[in-house]
Structure 1
Amino acid sequence: MPPRATEARRAAVLGSPIGHSLSPALHRAAYAELGLSNWSYDRFEVDESALPGFLEKLGPEWAGLSITMPLKRAVIPLLDEISETAASVDAVNTVVFAEGGRRLGDNTDIPGMVAALREHGIAQVSSAAILGAGATASSALAALTRVCTGEIVAYVRSEARAAEMRQWGKRLDVDLRTADWSQAQQALSAPLVIATTPAGATDALADAVPERPTALFDVLYDPWPTELAARWSMFGGAVISGLDLLVHQAVHQVTLMTGRAVAVDVIRDAGEKALRGRVS
């Protein structure tokens, strides 16, 4: 049963570093829209060593947690149950506290990616490329199982990362090939390119954007646009940003934590306003 609007409930985002997180702005906007006046949402700087103690101190007023790096895998042993979606990539970005204090883990990054792609008219592609490796790349790979009908190529910087991605490919039953980062320019001709790398990592690729690019999903949102995204857009290609991902995964999180649905535009407006505030 969804919580009543008069119940005092708490939620928060955990990670390290956490000061940059837009999650408080997004979730607070959702609570205001839904009339959940007694709900609060905060941010806490928590690393792997502090996570067990933090969870143990939480009282019955807690409804849920957003989990960001470096905790998405560290939190799993501390949970009572995780969803099939989270288990598929060994990454949890949402914890919901159920009856009796049970800790349930889920992953809204994967459906968030799929929803962001579909919002931009991308429901199916014949092949795709992933730039980078790690937790976000594995979530991108899982999202592509719902979108891509053919080969996926992951461009990575080391053989160790390549081996990890191949393992994820086998686990997700995906037609995955890995290639060295030195060949990353080849990725830009794919029908869909998903960049999962840190800020600045793809800047050198901007000059290699083809004259008629297709679709780029760059998971960064601050600073924005990245040099790659700016060049891509200048040449008329479709660009999906990290804010799109953040918005759609937050919509799913709000529903999981509150039992109520919030409009995508409410979350997006809050995110855009928060980002404008950072540059003003």
Structure 2
Amino acid sequence: MASAMRCAVLGDPVAHSLSPTLHNAGYAALGLDWSYDAVRVPAGGLAAFLAGLDETWRGLSLTMPLKREVLDLADEVTDRARLAGAANTWVRGERTLVDNTDLPGAVAAVRERYDGPVHSATILGAGATAASTGLALCELGATRVTLLARSPERAAETAAAIRRHPAEPEVVVGSLADDVASGEVLVSTVPADAQTPDLLARCTGPDAVFEALYEPWPTPLAALARDSGRALVGGLDLLVHQAVLQFEMFTGRPAPLAQMRAAGEQALAARAGA
């Protein structure tokens, strides 16, 4: 695969994504004549986009709202993507394959920052990222996962995905508006503007906080965790670790993690300065 190849991240919105920065930094570090772009593809538009790709396209990263839509648009779906009910990675080979690197990426991100026990955990929000991180927590040992959602109906699909983990965890659905976070790890997948003082006051118990966002940074929850001295896993940690796995799937080469992370940190610092 010596010729120039193309990759991209797809979603809506997608212009804010740091994925092009990370992947292109990896290509540069390894001297690969590859390119990685951000392309807006709205819900319902993925099949048409895939149909228009030529043989120069090697891989795609999928963000919302396409992580569940892509499951029906590949020749092969990995076990972990089926388990999560969502995929964030599309790879073209002899057959097209979709995978979920958010799950192992979340495991790596947590263990990089927190080496304590994980018996139970609370997740704020109930979308595709909540499903992947919930399964990652089960990989780390959690036997009880609490989802705090705006409504039980919104959490049903994610709760079902986490319950499918071979460890058969107990999954409890609670109220984002009223309930208190419990367990050793707290994961937030909700927007920064939803992190109200009332919510923060109910999130002081867990030993580690995993903030899935990387912009704006720090979020109110991340700032609270940092200032209280708790272990803090950031959205950039997750993004880098899942991108490293994608990079290796796309290129077949070991990913330069340090260079990819540094590029992401520099880009976020530049945005903050601007």
- Calculate the TM-score normalised by the size of structure 1: 0.91
CA distance in 2, matches of 1:77, 1:206: 38
Match in the other structure for 2:9: 13
> Matched residues, percent identical?
46
1:206 aligns with 2:200: yes
How many residues are treated as equivalent by the alignment? 270
Name the stretch that deviates more: 149-158 or 72-81: 149-158
Alignment of 1:125-204 (within 5 A): 125-172=118-165, 173-184=168-179, 186-187=180-181, 189-204=182-197
1:33 aligns with 2:33: no
CA distance in 2, matches of 1:64, 1:166: 29
What's the CA shift for 1:248?
Answer: 0.5
Instruction: Kindly provide the amino acid, as one letter, of the partner of residue 25 in structure 1.
Output: T
Q: CA RMSD in A?
A: 1.6
Q: Residue 54 of structure 1: which of 32, 49, 55 is its match?
A: 49
1:69 aligns with 2:64: yes
CA distance in 1, matches of 2:210, 2:13: 24
Where in structure 1 are there 5+ consecutive unaligned residues? none
Deviation per CA, 1:196-255, whole angstroms, max 9, x where unpaired? 112222233234454x75100010110011111101111111111111100100000100
CA distance in 2, matches of 1:167, 1:121: 27
The answer on whether the counterparts of 1:165 and 1:178 sit within 8 Å (CA) in structure 2 is no
Instruction: Kindly provide the amino acid, as one letter, of the partner of residue 26 in structure 2.
Output: A
Where in structure 2 are there 5+ consecutive unaligned residues? none
CA distance in 2, matches of 1:124, 1:208: 21
Instruction: Kindly provide the amino acid, as one letter, of the partner of residue 182 in structure 1.
Output: A
- Calculate the TM-score normalised by the size of structure 2: 0.93
The answer on whether the counterparts of 2:128 and 2:158 sit within 8 Å (CA) in structure 1 is no
What's the CA shift for 1:152?
Answer: 1.5
CA distance in 2, matches of 1:270, 1:131: 29
Aligned partner of residue 252 in structure 1, secondary structure: helix
Match in the other structure for 2:92: 97
Aligned partner of residue 104 in structure 2, secondary structure: helix
Match in the other structure for 1:80: 75
